Amino acid sequence: VYENLNLPVAIARCKSNIALVYLIQSDHEKANNYFKEALEITQASGDVMGTATILNHLGEGNRNLGYYEKALQRYNESLDISLDAGLQQPEAISLNGIGLIYSEKGDFLLSIEYFERALKYFYSAGNNDNVAAALNNIGMAYQSMGQYDKAITKFNEAYNFSVTAGSLYNQA
């Protein structure tokens, strides 16, 4: 229907939504294919927010597949677009994704720098679930470095924030 009406942003959103379902189902190859199709549409139509968001999704998909360099490339592309356009939400998601990659590669100090940069935005935007996730990510990095006191502090911050903010992130 959207194709007949020539609504490229809606088409890209539909393809992106299909890709997200595949991502949730851990079918990363199919997710990446749909994200790539959506990315072509957003870029061609000048949809900067859509492009930055899809690049972050592609970063996540590549990270989940263990393609860290490709994931870093996608997250950094999104970060550049986000910074140029003043898009704080995709900027913070990019920073958090880059932090996850560095953490998975064992560069925990660098990952903490990225998580903390993302955390500043999540706090200011009132994005409660992402605040809790970023605090947990920082805690995991400290735990991986054997800095257990700092890890426990961050895990407690995440939990207390979740309870105070009414977030369900850490209340399972």
pLDDT tens per residue across span 13-70? 999 999 999 989 999 889 989 999 999 999 999 999 999 999 999 999 889 889 999 9
Q: What is the pLDDT of residue 2?
A: 45
User: What's at 87, amino acid-wise?
Assistant: L
Could you tell me the pTM of the whole model?
0.88
| pLDDT > 80? residue 99 | yes
Q: What is the pLDDT of residue 84?
A: 96
